[in-house]
Every structure is written in C-alpha cells, then in structure tokens.
Amino acid sequence: MLSRDQVLHVARLARLELTEDEIERFGGELSKVLDHIEKIGELGDLTDVEPTSHVVAVENVLREDEPRRSWPREKMLESAPDVAPGGFRVPSPGAG
C-alpha cells in the first residue's frame, strides 16, 4: 500500500497538485495496480536478459548539418496563453 507521504512525494516530482480526494484514491488504486505489476517478480533472475528500449534496429539516423528555415517566432507564439514581446510570459519563479 502506498502511503500518503509516498503519494505526495510522487505528485511533487510530477508537478501535480492533487486534491484530498485524489490523494486518498490514488493511494489505493495505484497500490492495486502495483500488486499486479509485481507479478513480473515471478520471472526470477533476469540478469542475463538484455533490456529492450527500441524494437527495431535503427541507429544514428543522420542528416547533413545544413542551416534550414525554422518556424516563424510569431507563429509559435500564437497558441501561447500569455506572451511578452518576442517570447512567452510566465509568473516569477520567486514570487511564491
């Protein structure tokens, strides 16, 4: 069972501000899922098995390092919730 402190620690790492109800519920639900997941422990010693992070054998897909046009700045700022001239505006990191 995940403790309240563990849930809060993970939420902090994930930059999530959970409600009281979510803290309570996620603890139980995630514990149940983790119990199932821990069945992979039954497979015993896997020291000699190579991990798979990518299924198809491709490596080092390279291209010529030539200057290319990129997106216009204005276009990229169009979807932003708040813009300052030429950039994204955010609240101060130190104001809290």
Partner 1 sequence: MTELLALTAAQAGERVRQGDLERGELWRFYRDRALADDLNAFTWVCDGDDPEAIDPSGPLGGVPIGVKDLFCTEGVPSQAGSRILEGYRPPYTATAVERLMRGGAPVLAKTNQDEFAMGSSTENSGYGPTLNPWDRTRVPGGSSGGSAAAVAAGLVPWAIGTDTGGSIRQPAALCGIVGLKPTYGAVSRYGMIAFASSLDQAGPLTRDVTDAALLLQAMVGADSCDSTSLGLPEPVRLPQATDLRGIRLGVAEELSGEGIEPGVLAAFEQTLEIARELGATVETTRLPHAPHGIAAYYLIAPAEASSNLARYDGVRYGHRAAAGDLLTMYTRTREEGFGEEAKRRIMLGTYALSSGYYDAYYGRAQKVRTLIAQDFQKAWERFDFVVTPTSPGVAFELGSKTADPLAMYLNDYCTVPMPLAGIPAISIPNGLSDGLPVGFQIAGPAFSENRILDAAHALEQAIGFDGSAARA
* Torsion-angle region of 59 (φ positive above 0: left; ψ -120 to 50: alpha; else: beta): beta
Q: Which is nearer to partner 1, 46 or 67 (CB)?
A: 46
With binding defined as CB under 8 A, does residue 86 bind partner 1?
no
If 0-12 CB within 10 Å is exposed, 13-18 middle and 19+ buried, where does residue 83 land? middle
CB of 30 to partner 1, least distance (A): 6
With binding defined as CB under 8 A, does residue 69 bind partner 1?
no
Task: Provide the CB-side half-sphere exposure for 7 (13 A, CA).
Answer: 19
Using alpha carbons, select from 20, 21, 19, 26 the residue that is nearest to residue 2. Answer: 26
With binding defined as CB under 8 A, does residue 90 bind partner 1?
yes
With binding defined as CB under 8 A, does residue 26 bind partner 1?
yes
Residue of 5, 53, 65, 73 that binds partner 1 (CB under 8 A): 53
CA distances (Å), origin 34, targets 22, 44, 61: 17, 17, 37
The residue ranges that bind partner 1 (CB under 8 A) are 2, 6-7, 9-11, 13-19, 22, 26, 29-30, 32-34, 36-41, 43, 46, 49-56, 58, 61, 63, 71, 75-76, 78-82, 88, 90-96
